[in-house]
Structure 1
Amino acid sequence: MKGIILIMDGMGDRPLKELDYQTPLQAANTPNMDKMAEEGINGIMDSIAPGIIPGSDTAHISILGYDPYVVYTGRGPFEASGVGVDVIPGDIAFRCNFSTVDEDGIVTDRRAGRIREGTKDIVDVLNTMVLEDYPDVKIIFKESTGHRAVLVLRGEGLSDKVSDADPKVEGNKPKEVVALDGSKEAEKTADILNKVVAKSYEMVKDHPVNLERIENNEPPANIVIPRGAGAVPVVEPINEKYEVNSACIAETGLIMGICRFAGMDIIEMEGVTGGVDTDLNVIVDTILDQVKNSDHDFFLINIDGADEAGHDGNVKEKLEFIEKVDEVVMSKLKDLEDVILILTADHSTPISVMNHSGDPVPMIIKGPEVRKDDVCKFSEVDAAKGGLCRIRGSDVMNILMDLMNNSHKFGA
């Protein structure tokens, strides 16, 4: 028996007037997900706890069976590991955006028009950065998918107790990074970050990639804005924790990084973007190949486009992406044999909020000997009527291991 947790990132939502007060998932045409709901057991899940707004990182950590309040040190280390940076103890890592600022330093686009190409060339320049005041601190940049990047600071006397530079909204300058605990290490790290942000603009504002983007009326990726500071965490290997042989199939560096820290094998894919334009055929072909031909018996899968549409407040794109996943991916996965398949989300990203919320997300569990309930449609509202009732993310792996007959009895 094999187990799959397929997470549609940010799929959950709230009722929208333009959809006759339905969520995008309720309004979408999803015959394959609905068939799964009919043949499985349904419920809703709070990734961390009711009303707690999870990040994608803390949600996945919880769903994989770890306590995010213990394991999570910040998003940066997971993102850095996910894109292939060998972070080591003592490193301080950050998640970054390639962003656009005007001549006055005002952020006009936090995601540089969701840039897709050329970021590696920009990073090649940024990796020559040396700060005169801190010559012994190594500055490591690495591009991730789309507008995302990572920054790693390596040196003595650094701290992850610093604030973010991300202003969160356009129309403001990058925030001044400050120490959060008043320590000398944090003060030093904050000063380094402020200098890195300023110098990144000077180094790449006239980069050929950006000059071409300006000529094409596209926002240039002319500054790097870090956030999510974190020190390298210590994580119990998931293969030992649950006695599985695990693999991760994901589009974004963040999720791959979380899984890499957990000791999971990372299955690389080409042609995936983490957005609504991703190649879903590549994803489903990779899943099928791994399930049928590899020795892995547990898979964590993340598909990210619905989250992007939610952050953009684009109801049409979110609804259409859900339908596309149903048509391309779930049509081929729903009938897998000898597989316990869990379909859920890591969090809600409501169109009206354009950010994560604490709303619970729907879940289906389908597979051999799974009890069925009376739910016949997959949505946030319908799933709440199911036999799984309301669970937390920390319950998911235990439930999956039991259904895979991979659990041990507690007690005599």
Structure 2
Amino acid sequence: MKYLLVLADGMADYPIFELSNQTPLEYAKTPNIDILAQYACIGLVKTIPEGYTPGSDVANLSVMGYDPAIYYTGRSPLEAISMGVTLKEKDLALRCNLVTLSENEEYHDKIMLDYSAGEISSKEASELIYTLQQKLGEEKISFYAGVSYRHLMLWQEAADYKLKLTPPHDISDKKIGPYLPEGDKAEKILELMQKSQDILKEHPVNKKRRQKGLKEANSIWLWGEGRKPSLTSFYQKYGLKGSVVAAVDLVKGLGIAAGLHPVEVKGATGSIETNFRGKAEAAIKELKNGQDFVYLHIEAPDEASHQGSLEKKIWAIEQIDKEVIGLVRSVLDYFDDIRIMIMPDHPTPLSLKTHTSAPVPFMIYDKNNPCYESPGIYNEKYAQEGLFFDSGHKLMDFFILGK
């Protein structure tokens, strides 16, 4: 049996007035998903346990079959693993976003204009992070360049610090004052964020972006702190050899931590516009070449929601249907036995521009075992008529083991 999980990050949403009170998933043209849904098991799953922040780290951990209450140690350590950064037991990893803040106010009165600095390119970003390392790096503090706006700060021997840090995508268009760092050594984190402004303002990369009318990466924003993780391997849990196809370091790092083989795809960006078809081709190739399981992650719907773009979110969902699910359908005859699951990790409602903890719709299509007792239509509304899993990590057991 082959297993393919297509994770459409942040795809679930609320009904929207402009769409005649349909969600983007209901409204989008998804003929390939529609065909599979007629014979699929459909339902809802709660991927965010009570008491946890609805982040992609917790959600994807659940979806991959790991109970966050046992395995969750924070977001950034997973990204560090993907980036090849070695964490020691006492180290603290933090996500370091390049962001765009308003310019003229005192720091606490500034507004979070863009959590992604206009989806800055990885090349530009690496130059900025290199300079920050030269200017702000210390004996126990180091900065590492990642992809686009997503980077890493490693703080040695700081694992015991208790901090309260806020994701920048949760405060789009808001004053940052109420969301500045709190807790142990919060003043040090705030100092680094404030000092970054002076360094970045006159950097050649930002001068060029200013001339082109692009958003400047004029500050860092530190959040997503965590410690070194330790996961039971996916093979130990399920007896399956697997791969992860993902452009974002968080999901790639989670896959690596679980013992999955990471697959690089040219043109995969972790943004709205990405190489949808290339990612699908890579997943299929992994299955054809002997892997039993592939975790295929697509960030596009989530990024569109964070930007508040209804048009882009619908487009992203339709691209997933056409370029990913359409290609998968075209090769179904190649596999004697294949089971496919399609789902988001969490909702990212356009009206909020951030994640929620609400249950998400899933569908499981089994080529040789069609399901005739489910709603037959895949979206948030009809999923309420199907199965319900109140613990997200149990869905993987059902997907693979059937129980």
The TM-score, its normalising length taken from structure 1, stands at 0.88
**What is the identity, as a one-letter code, of the residue corresponding to 1:333?**
V
Q: Distance in 1 between matches of 2:44 and 2:62?
A: 15
Specify which of 278, 283, 288 is matched with residue 274 of structure 2. 278
Structure 1 residue 327 corresponds to structure 2 residue 322: yes
Specify which of 147, 166, 178 is matched with residue 182 of structure 2. 178
Please say if residues 165 and 225 of structure 1, whose CA atoms lie closer than 8 Å, have aligned partners that are also in contact: no
Q: Secondary structure at the match of 2:394?
A: helix
**What is the identity, as a one-letter code, of the residue corresponding to 1:369?**
N
Give the corresponding residue for 1:143: 146
CA shift digits 1:287-338 (9 cap, x unpaired):
1211112x32111111111111112221111112111111111012135232
Q: Distance in 1 between matches of 2:115 and 2:57?
A: 20
Q: 1:176 to 1:323 in 2, by over 3 A?
A: closer
Give the corresponding residue for 1:410: none
Q: Distance in 2 between matches of 1:288 and 1:254?
A: 22
Q: 1:362 to 1:329 in 2, by over 3 A?
A: same
Give 1:23 deviation, angstroms: 0.5
Q: Distance in 2 between matches of 1:309 and 1:45?
A: 23
Specify which of 116, 125, 146 is matched with residue 121 of structure 2. 116
Specify which of 291, 304, 316 is matched with residue 296 of structure 1. 291
Give 1:282 deviation, angstroms: 1.2
Aligned pairs, how many?
A: 389
Q: Secondary structure at the match of 1:300?
A: strand
After superposition, residues 6-405 of structure 1 pair within 5 angstroms as: 6-49=6-49, 54-101=54-101, 102-104=103-105, 105=107, 106-107=110-111, 108-117=113-122, 118-130=124-136, 135-144=138-147, 146-154=148-156, 156=157, 159-164=160-165, 168-173=171-176, 175-179=179-183, 186-187=184-185, 190-293=186-289, 295-334=290-329, 336=332, 337=335, 338-367=337-366, 368-386=368-386, 388-390=387-389, 392-403=391-402
Give 1:166 deviation, angstroms: 5.5
**What is the identity, as a one-letter code, of the residue corresponding to 1:327?**
K
Deviates more, 1:341-350 or 1:367-376: 367-376
Please say if residues 167 and 224 of structure 2, whose CA atoms lie closer than 8 Å, have aligned partners that are also in contact: no
Unaligned runs of 5+ in 2: none
Give the corresponding residue for 1:182: none
Q: Secondary structure at the match of 1:151?
A: strand
Give 1:358 deviation, angstroms: 2.7
Q: Secondary structure at the match of 2:286?
A: helix
Please say if residues 51 and 358 of structure 1, whose CA atoms lie closer than 8 Å, have aligned partners that are also in contact: no
Q: Distance in 2 between matches of 1:39 and 1:60?
A: 25
CA shift digits 1:24-81 (9 cap, x unpaired):
1111111100111012211121113589762111011112221112322221111222
Q: 1:205 to 1:143 in 2, by over 3 A?
A: farther
Name the % identity. 30
CA shift digits 1:222-273 (9 cap, x unpaired):
2111101111122222211222212111121111111122222111122111
**What is the identity, as a one-letter code, of the residue corresponding to 1:263?**
G
Unaligned runs of 5+ in 1: 180-185, 408-412
Q: 1:363 to 1:173 in 2, by over 3 A?
A: closer
**What is the identity, as a one-letter code, of the residue corresponding to 1:250?**
A
The TM-score, its normalising length taken from structure 2, stands at 0.90
**What is the identity, as a one-letter code, of the residue corresponding to 2:189?**
L
Deviates more, 1:307-316 or 1:107-116: 107-116
Give 1:130 deviation, angstroms: 4.6
| TM-align CA RMSD | 2.2
Q: Distance in 1 between matches of 2:237 and 2:141?
A: 35
